Amino acid sequence: KSFQITFNARKLDLTLFLKNIFCGLSACPLKCYNCIPGPSGGCIETKIDCPSSYTHGSSLVSGGLEYKRIWRTCFPPDQCFNGSVNLGFSQAVINIMCCTSDLCNSQDVPDSSISSPNGKKCFQCDEKDCTKTLTCNGTEDYCISAAVNAGGGATTKVKGCASKMICSKPQTAQLSAVIGGEISCCQGDLCNSASSTTAHLLLFVTPLISLVFFS
């Protein structure tokens, strides 16, 4: 009798599978290019051994209308996603390409781009007014509300549109930990409540990007 293991059905990479068998992740960690841009946007590329739970290499581009940043580093598998958050005053778009072999993250990812409106609407905050409506773009099919740690024990709220992957459980939990506040997502036009609040919107964008690299 013979048997056959179908790797594709379980979405396993053959190289990673053999690596696990013959040397184990702790003895033979994945090697990746590492390049984390600073405030100026530039970085020095190095080669690193990934932590044992970081089994994917990644090339990532994030940005919006005002900025663009490119990263290369190690990733845990549940962080391999694409998505965007639109708060009206700014939109952050994240495109990630993941791979599972040594030094595989040398390829560039297509630029982030601001997609066309998709017709869905959510509430957004503008200073003290959270009754304004925002038209969502591209894959942003959820409305989002977040309570952000504003320092000194105070919190403030932001609202807007988000894509499904931003609202998935792992990303939501990690982002909540980074911003020090609660995040909720809902589906349906204007489902994210229109109550007024004092909103310091810029507090949200940097933690959103930070979640990808430091969680």
pLDDT of amino acid 26: 47
Could you please state the CATH topology (level 3) that the domain comprising 117-214 is classified under.
CD59 (2.10.60)
Q: Do domains 8-84+91-99 and 117-214 have the same CATH topology?
A: yes
Confidence of residue 81 (pLDDT cuts 50, 70, 90): confident
Domain coordinates of the chain in residue numbers? Answer: 8-84+91-99, 117-214
Answer yes or no: is pLDDT of 136 > 80: yes
CB neighbour list of residue 75: distance below 8 Å, 6 or more residues apart = 54, 56, 57, 58, 96, 98
Confidence of residue 17 (pLDDT cuts 50, 70, 90): low
CATH code that applies to domain 8-84+91-99: 2.10.60
Answer yes or no: is pLDDT of 3 > 50: no
CA nearest to 93, candidates 59, 125, 137: 137
pLDDT of amino acid 184: 86
Answer yes or no: is pLDDT of 122 > 90: yes
Answer yes or no: is pLDDT of 13 > 90: no
What gap in Å lies between CA 141 and CA 147, rounded to an integer? 20
Helix or strand run (H / E) with residue 175: helix 169-179
CA nearest to 161, candidates 177, 145, 175, 172: 145
Average confidence score pLDDT of the chain: 73
pLDDT of amino acid 195: 55
CA nearest to 76, candidates 203, 144, 174, 151: 174
Provide Rg for the chain, Cα atoms. Answer: 19
DSSP SS3 for 146: strand
- pTM assigned to the model: 0.64
pLDDT of amino acid 75: 86
What gap in Å lies between CA 98 and CA 177, rounded to an integer? 24
pLDDT of amino acid 189: 94
Q: What is the mean pLDDT of residues 9-38?
A: 64
